[in-house]
């Protein structure tokens, strides 16, 4: 996750854990740009089985009282080659 000024740029492969359940890790799969000038949302998938998927707002992921940033998955950090 790159920080540019006060704005965060969440990317595919970024990992987050809910503060109320830190053993449950979520990985960002894709950014979803919604119509009508709604804020950006992200599809995240549970890292461990059963690999549930949810759609969450950027603001919720960046809220440190809700989610902790854990870094990027190794595959995404290394790149495709």
Chain segment 40-81, per-residue pLDDT in tens: 899 999 999 999 999 999 999 999 999 999 999 876 555 543
Give the residue-averaged pLDDT of 29-40.
88
Q: Which domains are seen in the chain, by residue range?
A: 2-78 (2.40.10)
pTM: 0.78
The pLDDT value recorded for residue 75 is: 65
The pLDDT value recorded for residue 80 is: 46
Which among 65, 69, 70 is positioned nearest to 19, based on CA atoms? 65
d(CA 31, CA 58): 9
């Amino acid at each position: 996750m790159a920080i540019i000024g006060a704005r965060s740029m969440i990317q595919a492969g970024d990992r987050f854990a809910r503060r109320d359940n830190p053993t449950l890790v979520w990985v960002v799969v894709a950014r979803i740009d919604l119509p009508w000038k709604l804020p950006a949302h992200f599809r995240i998938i549970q890292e461990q089985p059963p690999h549930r998927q949810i759609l969450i707002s950027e603001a919720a992921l960046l809220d440190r009282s809700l989610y902790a940033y854990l870094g990027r998955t190794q595959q995404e950090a290394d790149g495709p080659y």
